[in-house]
Copies of this chain bind each other. A is one copy, B any other.
């Protein structure tokens, strides 16, 4: 992805930064300072709203012209949105909800020019994740490790939890934290418009 427009990632997730670097983007990191509030039960709507709030929060602090990427990821299982576990007990509860069945991961993304020269773009991508049945020992061992602690849904698909992944339907990167394929396609169109406005 080639552009002279400086890109800001409104997230402190090292995984999102790494995913962007794979497609040739080395963003400035500027986490948003919003308090995350979800007023909807629809996970796709929730992540779109939160990605928009994050991008707007960061864009409002900027003096000159940047492209801001906001993103938010949630896991939905049995109609319930799973956030990040605060304790190992919470992690074990979340793993019990997802083992042996299928859940869905949603990442919302907002692309925004800080000078509003181009209308913002917001979209969400959904990936289904099929998880093998796990024994009580496997659940306890995984939940007591460090890996689940800062992850939505209490697992890292790219970590030790890969042992329990039967398969997915959709973009794998979306589960890690950014739908890289859809994001690249959206960025191409967005940057093309933004460069005409410079």
- Residues on the B chain within 8 Å of A163, using CB: 1, 22-23, 180-181, 184
Contact check, A160 vs B127: say whether CB atoms are below 8 A apart.
no
**Copies per assembly:** 2
- Classify chain A's interface size: 20 to 34
Interface set of A (CB-CB < 8 Å, partner B): 1, 19, 22-24, 127, 132, 157-160, 162-173, 180-182, 184-185
Q: Give 28 CB contacts A-B under 8 Å.
A: A19-B162, A22-B160, A22-B163, A23-B160, A23-B162, A23-B163, A24-B160, A127-B167, A132-B181, A132-B185, A162-B173, A162-B180, A162-B181, A164-B181, A164-B184, A165-B171, A165-B172, A165-B173, A165-B180, A165-B181, A166-B171, A167-B170, A167-B171, A168-B168, A168-B169, A168-B170, A168-B171, A168-B172
